[in-house]
Amino acid sequence: MRIKIISDSTCDLSPELIKKYDIEILPLYVSIGDKNMLDGVEVTPDDIYDYVDKSGKLPSTSAPNLSDFLDLFRKWRSEGYEIVHFNISGDFSSSYRNACMAAEEVGGVYVVDSRNLSTGQGHVVLYGAELAAEGKSAEEILEACNNITSKVEASFVVDSIDYLHKGGRCSSVAALGANLLKLKPCIDVIDGKMTSGKKYRGKIDKVIIQYVEERLKGRDDIDTKRIFITHTKCDKEIVDAVRAKIKEFFDFDEVLETTAGCTITSHCGPYTLGILFIRK
């Protein structure tokens, strides 16, 4: 049985990776003002920056609805495929629940809760795509991917907490204090949930390098097959410095740079960067 790998759009994989691994992307919805648009198709992160700058408000995101999943799953099943579908963590969105309902109705669809977002989810998607290319069954891919989700280490450093404040994720007093002190919070994804980690202080280019060093230095539990550098609107010089710093600690087979999509952008704003990898 042929296997089709599908993911919702929060995986933040580049167009090149999507093409290379033949992955189908199902967009979430992004609401800007009174317009409800498809993530990555009808709306981009630049549209979000423009909207926030002009309105002072954040857009909202919502999951694909049941009919979106049914239409896509039925399409690939009618062409003779079994499907392994990957979702943003079920704690972030109803996308996973909707996918499971559609899978039960259609049959032959196996749904993975990535317990992550962005390229934390992307890691799990690529792992599943590689297993499919090796000829593994849908059941085998589902089991293997469910086993690896807890090993994904995803985190981001945020330059400004303005977007977190606008989204109601920190108080006005905390936002004022953080901005006055030039604090740069680290956001960790742990057990499918976003949590606030260390708070760095200083200019974002220096902070990001400190963050990378602290994430990698002295570690012997990191799988060196692949690491993502995922960011929102960061300068090339910063990304190149991150690459060089990673190289000081590990020789990864692949160091993949991707630009975060609308979900991370609407949560964290510009000049956010994370390194995302898998533990052994």
What is the model's pLDDT at position 164? Answer: 56
Domains within the chain, CATH numbers bracketed = 2-149 (3.40.50.10170), 152-279 (3.30.1180.10)
| Section 209-227 average pLDDT | 97
Nearest to 1 by CA among 110, 100, 83: 83
Nearest to 85 by CA among 1, 9, 192, 197: 9
What is the model's pLDDT at position 196? Answer: 78
Name 189's bridge partners: 154, 194
What is the model's pLDDT at position 116? Answer: 95
Q: What is the pLDDT of residues 257-276, one digit of tens each?
A: 999 998 888 878 888 999 99
CB-based burial of residue 80 (10 Å sphere; 0-12 exposed, 13-18 middle, 19+ buried)? Answer: exposed
Q: For tokens 């740069």, what's the residue?
A: 184
Q: What is the pLDDT of residues 57-76, one digit of tens each?
A: 888 889 999 999 999 999 99
**CA–CA gap between residue 5 and residue 23 (Å, rounded):** 5
If pLDDT is split at 50, 70 and 90, which confidence band does 25 have? very high
Q: What is the pLDDT of residues 170-210, one digit of tens each?
A: 433 343 344 434 678 888 899 888 887 888 888 889 999 99
Average pLDDT of every residue of the chain: 90
Q: Assess whether pLDDT exceeds 80 at residue 215.
A: yes
Highest mean pLDDT among 34-38, 126-130, 198-202: 126-130
What is the model's pLDDT at position 173? Answer: 32
What is the model's pLDDT at position 168? Answer: 44
Query: Cα-Cα-Cα-Cα dihedral of 231, 117, 147, 107, to 10°?
Result: -130
**CA–CA gap between residue 21 and residue 130 (Å, rounded):** 8
